[in-house]
Amino acid sequence: MKNIFLVYIPPGNAEAMVHYEETIRQKVMPERIFRHIDDNLRSRLMRIFGTRPITVWGSKDSSANRSKYERMVPGDDILIVEGAIIKLLGKIAAVTVNQNLSRELWKNLRPDKVDGWDLIYFIANPQEIDLPFAEFCKLVSYEDDYQLRGLSLVSKDRLTTFYNHYDDLYSVLMQRKRRQQIYELPSTEELFGQTASEGSALPLVPSHEGLEGAIPQEAISDHVRMQWKLISLGVKASSRVWVPTGDQGRIRRLYNFDQFETDFAAGLDTQVRYVENIDVVWKEEFRIDAAFEIENTTSIYSGLLRFSDLTLVAPNTIYPLFIVAPQDKRARLIEQLRRPSFRKFHLERKVRYLSYEAVDEVDRFFENRNQGLNVDIITGRSEELKIA
């Protein structure tokens, strides 16, 4: 269960807002940070941020702050709140207690002040969201007029209540920012075909195993060809790329490629077990950017099952899910999405159709280009399927 940290900035605090502009909005070039940290932390930041500017913030090294700060671990959520507004949402990437780095990054505006902000945390996936703090209060059962002070940590009982109802704070708040509906986790009765008291639970949807039967050799070749194109496009989009462990050896042999993400679960939530067998995943350290299921056999069911499982355990997932299939399978995809077990959980609101032809087109366009490709381009070439 991830912690949720809250950093409060009093409204009108000129010093804090200068620092916010300099190290949150503008971010910090890595070389300014690297000369003040050890090799282990430098390597970790390089893995997460590469050569990109880094978002960084710090708190005063008081005993109250230290007790909370020492509980920070990579992947925890953090909100920076100014007055009654959530300004920033992000993930804790790494931490360090470092007086020299604090002096490098944040100067006291008053010459008589010498204490700094030595409890330093680096923030991944920073998003300025400008949401009322009252929105967050509802999610964790705070009173609307709850008063923040300094560095705070949401209590364990409130975290438990939140995670009993929702899958992920980052996703939920991003949904709210986009003015999209927030979904609560389904109950045990909704997830399974019988209540827990009636004995062992049976899945609403069948297992994925054995659905496809014998796959023609030409279908396997088309599948691998498309898998490889999505892998190479992911690399060009500067994403880390994952394919199921069982597929990696075949890709290595056929395409001499060995740049797979080595630790799929690093920095991600427990839902990863529902994602790691998807055909191709584009990801970063603390987020998944896109997931692709490739379907070119007579059944398009298995890919939808994987996405259905993921939607059940993570209904507020904000990254796109693509079913990749030839154009002549589009009608079959729509037919399958009408199945009651998929309609029950509104799978069509998550899944987009990406044709082989569209992938080939993007691949040709970026064949001799190494810049400009991102998930938005893939989304733009895909189709939202309207299920009547």
Instruction: Read off the pLDDT of each residue in 10-23 and give the average, rounded to a whole number.
Output: 91
Domains of the chain listed by start with CATH number: 4-177 (3.10.590), 215-384 (no CATH)
Q: What was the pLDDT predicted at 188?
A: 57
Evaluate if residue 20 carries a pLDDT over 80.
Answer: yes
The pTM score is 0.81
Angle at alpha carbon of residue 383, lines to 284 and 319, rounded to 5°: 20
Mention every residue, 6+ apart, whose C-beta is less than 8 A from residue 269. 2, 75, 167, 168, 314
Q: Is 24 helix (H, G, I), strand (E, B) or coil?
A: helix
Q: pLDDT at residue 298 above 60?
A: no
Determine what percent of the chain is predicted with pLDDT higher than 70. 87
What's the whole-number mean pLDDT along residues 69-93? 95
Give the chain's mean pLDDT: 86
Residues 6+ apart with CB under 8 A from 188: 195, 196, 201
In this prediction, residue 209 carries a pLDDT of 41
Q: State the Cα–Cα distance between residues 74 and 85, nearest whole angstrom.
A: 25
Q: What is the pLDDT, as a whole number, of residue 113?
A: 66
Say how far apart CA 297 and CA 378 lie, in whole Å: 23
* Statement: residue 19 has pLDDT above 50: yes
pLDDT of 211: 41
pLDDT band at 140 (very low <50, low <70, confident <90, very high): very high
Does residue 300 surpass a pLDDT of 90?
A: no
Checking if the pLDDT of 388 tops 90, the result is no
Q: Which residues of 116-151 are buried (b: 16+ CB within 10 A; e: fewer)?
A: bbbbbbbbbbbeebebebeebeebbebeeeeebeeb
Poorest-pLDDT segment among 28-42, 240-254, 266-280, 373-387 = 266-280
- Give the count of beta carbons closer than 10 Å to the beta carbon of residue 360: 13
* 296 or 199, greater pLDDT: 296
Residues of the chain with pLDDT > 90, as a percent, come to 56
Query: 307-364 pLDDT, tens per residue?
Result: 888 887 788 888 999 999 999 889 888 888 888 878 877 788 889 999 999 999 999 9
Which is more confident, 313 or 133?
A: 133
Q: What's at 132, amino acid-wise?
A: P
pLDDT attached to residue 235? 94
Q: Does residue 214 carry a pLDDT above 50?
A: no
In whole angstroms, how far apart are CA 190 and each of 154, 201, 236, 247, 341? 29, 11, 40, 33, 11
pLDDT tens string 146-187: 989 899 999 999 999 999 999 889 889 998 988 888 888 876
Q: Which residues contact 218 (CB under 8 A, 6 or more apart)?
A: none
pLDDT at residue 204 in the model: 43
Q: How confident is the model at residue 109 (pLDDT cuts 50, 70, 90)?
A: low
pLDDT per position as a tens digit, 250-284: 999 999 999 998 777 766 765 677 788 889 999 98
Residue given tokens 């044709």 in the structure block: 355
Structure tokens at 140: 């964790």
Task: Specify the pLDDT at position 200.
Answer: 36
Residue-level pLDDT at 269: 64
Q: Name residue 211's amino acid.
A: L
For residues 45-70, average pLDDT: 94
Report the range out of 86-95, 178-187, 252-261, 291-300 with the highest average pLDDT.
Answer: 86-95
